[in-house]
Structure 1
Amino acid sequence: MPPTDHHILPEELYSADAVREIDHYVIDQQGVDGFDLMQSAAASVFRRMIQRWPEPGRILVLCGSGNNGGDGYLVAAAAQRHGLPVTCLAVLPQEKLAGDARKAWQKACGDGVEVLELEALSGAERDQQFASAGLIVDAMLGTGVTGAPREPVAEMIRRCLAMHVPVVAVDLPSGLDASTGGAAGDVLRADLTVTFIGLKAGLFTGQGPEAAGDVCFEPLGTEVWLTGAGQLPLARRADWRTVKTSLPRRPVTAHKGRFGHVLVVAGDRGFGGAGILAAEAAARTGAGLVTLATRPEHVAPALARCPSIMVQGLVHGSELAALVEAADVIVCGPGIGQGAWGQQMLQQVIASGKPRVLDADALNLMATRVAVQDEAHILTPHPGEAARLLECPVAEVEADRLKAIAQLRQVYGGTIVLKGAGSLVDGDRDPQPYIVSGSNPGMATGGMGDVLCGVIGALYGQLENPALAARMGVALHLAAADRASSRRGYMGLLPMDVIDALPELLAEAELAHSRH
C-alpha cells in the first residue's frame, strides 16, 4: 500500500455528519452551486488519477444513485473529453438519480460516455466489463451510507477485490464507515482515495488505512468557510513530521538526571526478551537512566544486549520498592505474566502513584480488578486487551475505535493509546483524541508493543504532558518501523530493527532544532 502524502493533509478529522453539514452550509448559506462543486470534485479525482496512472487503459466507473455516483459520471465525462476509453456502470437504477446527480448523468450521456445499467447485464457481460478494465473508479457509496452494503453493490465490491488493477475511490471507499473506520460488511480496497471538503476520521483508523490506500485531500475552495460552518472535529491527525517539533531541545549543559530515570518492570520466566526490548527502546529514545527489573535469569542476557542499562533480578515483589523509589517513570507489563510474580510487581507499581506506562499483562491483570481512575498512567492496549478492559467483544472495539477509546478514558482516566492501524491517543489535556495516521504490516509480530511502551516511557520522562509523550511515542515508533521496513521489507521486520532506526529519526529532529 503506497504511503499517504501526509504533508498536504490538514490536522482536523471530521465525522460524516459534520462533513455533510459543512457541505450544506457552503451550498445553502454561502451560495455555492452544488453542481459546480460536484464538477470541481470530479475534476480533482480525474487529475489525481491521471497523475498516478498516465496511461490507465480502459476506465470502468461504478456509479451509485447519490451524489457520489454523480461525481463518478462527471469523472467519466472528463475521461471522455480527454480521449480515454471509459464506460460507466450504473450499479443502481438511473431512475433513482435526482438533483445534481441526475445533471451529472445527463452531462456524461451528452458527452458521449457509454453508460450501461448493471441490472441489464448478464453474468458473462459483467465478467467482460471487469476483465477489460485497466482502472476502476468506485463512485458507489458516499458518506451518507452506513451499515453493510447491499446487493448489487456488495457484488461489485467483491469483483473489485478479485481484480488486479488499480482502484480509485471517490471521497470514500464503498463499505467503509466514514466516521468510525469500521466496516459492517464487504469493503472496497482502493489504491487511491480522493476525498473532499473535510477529512473523514474513518479513513485513518480501523479498516480505513487498508481500504483507502493513498489519501489525497481536495477542499474544493470550501476551507474559507470551515469556521463559519460551526462543526467541531471528531479527532485530529498526527504523525512524526507534525509532532517531532515538540521534542525538547537539549542544552549543552545537559546531564542524565534531566531526562528521566525509567524503570522497566518486565519479563517473567520465558518472557525475558520483552523486558530487554522495552528497556533498550527506552535507552535509544533518550532516557537519562534505564533500569530493568526482571527475573534473575534474564540479567546476563540483558546486559549482553544493552550494557548501558542497569539490571536487577527480582524474585519477589517486595524487592521492587527501592527501584520504584529511584524511578521517575515506570514501564510495567511486557512479559510479566498473570501469575503471582506479575501480580506482585503490578501491585507495587500502582501503589507507588508514580507516572507509569502499563502494557500487555499489566492490562490483562487490571481487567480482573475493580477499575480505578488514575491520571498518572498511560495505558497502551491493543484491541483484544481493550475488549477485556471494557468487558466487551473485540469486534465491538474495532467497529468504533473512537467510541472504545472514549469509554476507556471514562473508566480508567489518564491517557489511553488504542493500538492498531491508525492508533488512537486520548488524554485529558486534548480537546479531541488524536489518530496517528499510517500503518505498517511489518509491525504485526511479537515484541513491537514492548518497543512502543519503552519509547513512550522514555518520552514521558522527558515531557510534562503524558498525552503528548504518548502521541509522540506512537508516531516515532511507526516512523521507525517505516524507516526499517524501507530497507528490510515487511515480512522479515523485527523489533530490534525498529529500535535501531530510532536514533536516526531523533537525529533528524535534533538537526531541525539546530536549524532554528
Structure 2
Amino acid sequence: MNPADSASLPESLYSADSVRAMDRYLISQCQVPGFELMQRAAASAFRNLIRTWPEPGRLLVLCGAGNNGGDGYLVAASAARHGLDVDCVAVVDPQSLQGDASKACQVARNDGVEILLWRELDDGGRSVLFATAGLIVDALLGTGVAGAPRDPFGDVIRRCNASPAPVLAIDLPSGLDATTGHAAGDVVQASLTVTFIGLKTGLLTGQGANCAGEVVFESLDTGDQLPACGEAPMARRVDWWGLRELLPVRAAAAHKGYFGHMLIVAGDRGYGGAALLAAEAAIRSGAGLVTLATRPEHVMPALARCPSVMAQGVIHGSELAPLLARASLVVCGPGLGQSSWGQQMLQQVVSSGKPQVLDADALNLLSQRVPVTASNHILTPHPGEAARLLGLTAAEVEADRLAAAARIQQEYGGTVLLKGAGTVVTDGTEFVIVDGRNPGMATGGMGDVLSGMIGSLLAQLDSPLQAATMAAALHLASADRASQVKGYMGLIPNDVIDTLPRMLADAERLAARRLRAGLKGIDDAVDGE
C-alpha cells in the first residue's frame, strides 16, 4: 500500500446501519438536503473518475434504485456536461424511482443523457454496451441490500466482471455486504471504490479486500457535523505507516535483558523449517534473546541458519520446564504437529502461565479442548483454524470475520488475530483491522514468520493487542516492500524476514527525527523566555 493512499483514509470504520443513521442525521438534524448530499457524492465520484482515468473512453453507467442509482444518474449527467460519451442504463425502471433518485434521473435527462432500459435491451444490445465500454460505473446496489443479488442485478454484475473495462464503484461494489465484507453471491470486481460519509468496515476485510480495489473516502464536507450524531465505530483501521510511530525508542544504554527472552516451541519431525522461520523472524524483529525448543535433529540446521538463536533439542514435555522458567514469554505452534510430542509441548506451555502466542498446530490442538490457563495469550488462527476452534466451516468464518474473531475471544480469552486480507484483531474490548492485502503472502511459512514477530513485539510492548496489531501491520508492509523487487509469485517468507531490518530502520530514523525536532522545540522555548 502506498502510505499516501493510506493516510487519506479515516481511522474509524462503521457498519452499514451506522452510516445510514449518519445520513439520516445530516438530513433531519443538520438540515442538509438529501439531494444536496447526492450531488456532492456524484461530484466527488466524477472527480475521482477523471483523476484516475483522464481519458476514460465511452462510459457505461449502470443505475439501480435508491440513492445509489441516483448517484449514478448524476455522474452520467456530469460526464455528458464534460463532453464524454455516455451510455446510461436503468436496471430498475425510472418510473418506479421516488424522491431524490427520481430527481437525479430527471437531471440526467435534462443534460441530454439518453437512459436505456435494461429490460428493453436484447442480449446482443447488452453485449455491445459492455464490449464498447472504456469504463464502467457501478451504481446498482447500495448499503441497504443484503444477500445474493437476484436477476437482473446478478446478470448485470456477471457481465460487468466479464468485461475488460475497469470499474468505478459508487459507495461500495454491488453485491458486497458493507458491514461484514461478505459476498453472498455475485459481486462487482471494482478497480476503484469511492465511498461516502463513513468508511464501511466491509470494504477492508473479507471479500471487500478483494473486490473494492483502491478505496477513496469522501466526507462530503460533513466531518464537523457527524461527531454529534453519536454513532460509535465498530472497528479501527490501522496500517504500519501510522503505527510505526509507536515503536519504542531504544535507550542508548539498553541491553538484551530489556527486550525479553522468547522461548519458541516448534518444529516436530519434518517441520523444522517452520520453527526456523519463526525464530529468525523473532530475532530480526528486535527480541533480546530467543531460545528455540525443537526436535533434536533440527538444532544443527537452526544454529547454521541463525546462530543468534539459542537452540535446544527436546524429546519430552518435562524438558521444557527449565526453559520455560527462564523465558519471559512463549511462542508455540509453528510446525508443532499433532502427535504426542506436540501435545506434550503444548500442555507444558499453556500450564506455565507465561504470556504466550499460540499458532498453527497449537490452535488445532486447542480446538480439541486443551485448556488455556493464561489470560495474556494471543491466538493467531487463519480461517481454517478459526473454523476448527468454533466448529464452523471456513466459509462461515469468512462470512463475518469480526463476529468469528469475537466468538473465539469469548470462548478462549486473550487476544485474537484472525489472519487474511484485512486481518482482524480483538481483545474483547475493541476491534482493529489491519488495512491492506498482498497475494504474494499466500504461501506456506508466512504465518510462522508472523508468529515470531508477534512474540518479539509482545516482549517489547506492554499490550498484547498493540503487539499483535503492530506485528501484523509490519508483516504486511514488509511483504509489500519485498514484492516491489520479488513480485508476488516469487515471494517467500525469507524475503519478508530479510526486509524487516530495513522497515525497522526506517521507523528508527523517523523516531530520531521526531526526537531531534522535540529537543529543538524545547531549546526554542527556553531561548524565548
TM-score > 0.5 by shorter chain: yes
Structure-2 residue corresponding to 1:311: 311
Question: By how many angstroms is 1:371 displaced?
Answer: 5.4
Alignment match of 1:445 (pick from 443, 466, 469): 443
How many Å separate the matches in 1 of 2:498 and 2:112? 57
| Conserved? CA contact 1:195–1:215, under 8 Å | yes
Structure-2 residue corresponding to 1:505: 503
2:228 matches 1:224: no
Counterpart residue identity of residue 263, structure 1: L
Structure-2 residue corresponding to 1:298: 298
2:325 matches 1:321: no
For the residue of structure 2 that corresponds to 1:273, the secondary structure is helix
Question: By how many angstroms is 1:432 displaced?
Answer: 2.3
How many Å separate the matches in 2 of 1:375 and 1:109? 63
Structure-2 residue corresponding to 1:174: 174
Task: Rate the CA distance shift 1:336–1:69 in 2: closer, same or farther, 3 A.
Answer: same
| Conserved? CA contact 2:268–2:335, under 8 Å | yes
Counterpart residue identity of residue 430, structure 2: Q
Structure 1: gaps of 5 or more residues:
none
Task: Rate the CA distance shift 1:118–1:9 in 2: closer, same or farther, 3 A.
Answer: same
Counterpart residue identity of residue 151, structure 2: E
| Conserved? CA contact 1:480–1:502, under 8 Å | yes
Question: By how many angstroms is 1:373 displaced?
Answer: 6.4
| Conserved? CA contact 2:351–2:372, under 8 Å | no
Question: By how many angstroms is 1:318 displaced?
Answer: 1.0
Structure 2: gaps of 5 or more residues:
515-529
How many Å separate the matches in 1 of 2:155 and 2:323? 60
For the residue of structure 1 that corresponds to 2:148, the secondary structure is coil
**1:144-178 Cα distance to aligned partner (Å, 9 max, x none):** 10100010111111111111111000000000000
| Conserved? CA contact 1:373–1:413, under 8 Å | no
**1:13-43 Cα distance to aligned partner (Å, 9 max, x none):** 0000000000000011110011111011001
How many Å separate the matches in 2 of 1:305 and 1:48? 49
For the residue of structure 1 that corresponds to 2:189, the secondary structure is coil
For the residue of structure 1 that corresponds to 2:223, the secondary structure is helix
**1:191-248 Cα distance to aligned partner (Å, 9 max, x none):** 0000000000000000001110000000001111221111000111010011111111
| Conserved? CA contact 1:334–1:361, under 8 Å | yes
Structure-1 residue corresponding to 2:14: 14
Structure-2 residue corresponding to 1:461: 459
Structure-2 residue corresponding to 1:139: 139
How many Å separate the matches in 1 of 2:96 and 2:325? 70
**How large is the RMSD of aligned CA atoms in angstroms?**
1.2
Question: By how many angstroms is 1:375 displaced?
Answer: 2.0
How many Å separate the matches in 1 of 2:281 and 2:237? 25
Counterpart residue identity of residue 163, structure 1: S
Structure-2 residue corresponding to 1:490: 488
Question: By how many angstroms is 1:2 displaced?
Answer: 8.8
Task: Rate the CA distance shift 1:351–1:371 in 2: closer, same or farther, 3 A.
Answer: closer
2:57 matches 1:57: yes
2:163 matches 1:195: no
Structure-1 residue corresponding to 2:512: 514
How many Å separate the matches in 2 of 1:292 and 1:483? 28
Question: By how many angstroms is 1:4 displaced?
Answer: 8.7
2:448 matches 1:473: no
Counterpart residue identity of residue 495, structure 2: D
For the residue of structure 2 that corresponds to 1:186, the secondary structure is coil
How many Å separate the matches in 2 of 1:436 and 1:2? 14
Which deviates the most, 74-83 or 367-376? 367-376
Structure-1 residue corresponding to 2:78: 78
How many Å separate the matches in 1 of 2:2 and 2:307? 39
Structure-2 residue corresponding to 1:288: 288
How many Å separate the matches in 1 of 2:423 and 2:57? 37
Structure-1 residue corresponding to 2:408: 408
Structure-1 residue corresponding to 2:522: none
Question: By how many angstroms is 1:374 displaced?
Answer: 3.8
**1:252-310 Cα distance to aligned partner (Å, 9 max, x none):** 01100000111111000000000000000000000001111111111111111111110
- TM-score, normalising length from structure 2? 0.96
**1:416-445 Cα distance to aligned partner (Å, 9 max, x none):** 0000010000014xx420000100000000
How many Å separate the matches in 2 of 1:371 and 1:84? 65
Structure-2 residue corresponding to 1:351: 351
How many Å separate the matches in 1 of 2:139 and 2:2? 21
Q: Please show how residues 238-249 of structure 1 align to structure 2 within 5 Å.
A: 238-249=238-249
For the residue of structure 2 that corresponds to 1:5, the secondary structure is helix
Task: Rate the CA distance shift 1:370–1:319 in 2: closer, same or farther, 3 A.
Answer: closer
Question: By how many angstroms is 1:114 displaced?
Answer: 1.8
Counterpart residue identity of residue 72, structure 1: G
Structure-1 residue corresponding to 2:521: none
| Conserved? CA contact 2:351–2:373, under 8 Å | no
Query: After the TM superposition, which parts of structure 1 deviate over 4 Å for at least 4 consecutive aligned residues?
Result: 1-4, 370-373
| Conserved? CA contact 1:15–1:178, under 8 Å | yes
**1:437-496 Cα distance to aligned partner (Å, 9 max, x none):** 100000000000000000000000000111000000000000010010111100010000
How many Å separate the matches in 1 of 2:499 and 2:164? 33
How many Å separate the matches in 1 of 2:285 and 2:137? 44
| Conserved? CA contact 1:2–1:213, under 8 Å | no
Task: Rate the CA distance shift 1:4–1:182 in 2: closer, same or farther, 3 A.
Answer: farther
For the residue of structure 2 that corresponds to 1:199, the secondary structure is coil
How many Å separate the matches in 1 of 2:222 and 2:96? 28
| Conserved? CA contact 1:4–1:213, under 8 Å | no
How many Å separate the matches in 2 of 1:375 and 1:322? 22
How many Å separate the matches in 2 of 1:499 and 1:95? 60
For the residue of structure 2 that corresponds to 1:224, the secondary structure is coil
How many Å separate the matches in 2 of 1:198 and 1:59? 27
For the residue of structure 2 that corresponds to 1:179, the secondary structure is coil
Structure-2 residue corresponding to 1:163: 163
Aligned length: 514
For the residue of structure 1 that corresponds to 2:460, the secondary structure is coil
